[in-house]
Amino acid sequence: MKMQKVALVVLMLALLITGGAGAQMRYHDIRPGYGVTELRWLSDYLPVLRNTPGDTPVYVLQGEQPGGSMLVLGGTHGDEIAGIMAATWMVERLSVQAGTIFVIPRANNSASTHHAANRSPYIELETASGTRRFAYGTRLTNPLHQAPDPATYVHPAGRAAAGSEARNLNRVHPGKADGTLTEQISFAIMELIRNEKIDVAFDLHEAGPASRLANMIVSNPKSVNYAAEGLLIMELETNLTLKLEVSSGEFDGLSHREWGDQTQAEAILLETPNPGQSSANNVDVVNDSQYPLATRVATHLLTVQAIVSSWNGANPGKKIVWESMPTFEEFHSKPLGYFYND
């Protein structure tokens, strides 16, 4: 009995070490710019999340003019770094003129507290003040924060998936107030969308370069006109070829499906190609020659801008307007760190 206890303590210590000092990390290197008018927390929308690894900052950027409201999530999956860095760019550099934008750079904060064995736990960008580090996590909620996985994860809509998908934020929407940590994060995001009357919601992702999802816009059926016009604008303004897909019923619990079906929000998910999402070792997810992070961050940001410009055209009384972002070419004209605060 005693030996078992000792073994258990040793096991728990080992788990803690694997989780690293960042296991509770909620304070990432994000340096809000003048555009941020208020700092909130996801737990403001579901208080039980307070002081848990699932809590995460919600940055509010309110323009001087009235207008529509918008939500941008990065980090639904903690290893999809371009979405995280696009959302972080908005917090640091976006200047909103009309409407209100809510930005959550680390939507599943727990997923950014652990990392795959063959990946560095962070990326680095060089800025005028020196090197900045940004956590590079994994796809799923940290098992230290939610365990054990069920043998099979069954979404309330009825479909079964692998047990580990219980920790996949983009399989558990619309979440549950008294559910698992991942379901609570999802539920708090839904509460934000409902309470803040979000008009347009974006979920920024990445996929392996070989995945059919790479460079794709996935749109709730009701939002497809905005997504399609946004795609045309992007193809005119950049050398990118993007694909457009309407939410399929392939999985339950997807953001673009559940947000759009269950709330007033237009719901759109974007995917860029991340060379880190493959089994290869020694991948440089920042400076890859074919898929550099600068291209992927610019793709996210400018696609959001293009889709919102289409939405503004159809909703002239509720425009969401900001000072133009750098162009696709400008994002490539200097090292990416130049576009962040120092």
**Scanning residues 79 to 108, which ones bind Zn ion (CB under 5 A)?**
80
As measured in angstroms, the least distance from the Cβ of 80 to Zn ion is: 5
Nearest approach in angstroms of CB 169 to Zn ion is 9
CA angle 101–327–106, rounded 5-degree value: 40
Between 81 and 96, whose beta carbon lies closer to Zn ion?
81
**Single residue of 205, 256, 296, 300 touching Zn ion by CB under 5 A:** 205
Candidate ranges 42-50, 76-84, 235-243, 305-313; the one touching Zn ion (CB under 5 A)? 76-84
CB of 214 to Zn ion, least distance (A): 11
The structure tokens listed for 151 are 């043998």
**CB 168, min distance to Zn ion, A:** 9
Tell me the residue number closest to Zn ion, measured at CB.
Answer: 205
Displacement of CA 246 from its chain's centroid (Å): 19
Indicate left, alpha or beta for 213 from its phi (over 0: left) and psi (-120 to 50: alpha): alpha
Q: Is 148 helix (H, G, I), strand (E, B) or coil?
A: coil
- In angstroms, give the least distance from the CB of 270 to Zn ion: 10
- For 314, other C-beta atoms within 10 Å of its C-beta total 10
Count of alpha carbons within 13 angstroms of residue 264, beta-carbon side? 12
Taking the least distance from each CB to Zn ion, the nearer of 77 and 155 is 77
Quick one: which segment of 14-22, 71-79, 126-134, 172-180 binds Zn ion (CB under 5 A)? 71-79
Q: Smallest distance, Å, CB 203 to Zn ion? A: 8
Residue type, 249: G
Instruction: Identify the burial level of 305 via C-beta atoms within 10 angstroms of its C-beta, where 0-12 means exposed, 13-18 middle and 19 or more buried.
Output: middle
> Helix or strand or coil: residue 245?
strand
Phi, psi of 11 (to 5 degrees): -60, -45
Q: Which of 26/205 has CB closer to Zn ion? A: 205
Q: Which two tokens stand for residue 67?
A: 């207008």
Quick check: 167 binds Zn ion (CB under 5 A)?
no
Instruction: Tell which one of 28, 55, 67, 77 touches Zn ion (CB under 5 A).
Output: 77
Residues near Zn ion, by CB under 5 A: 77, 80, 205
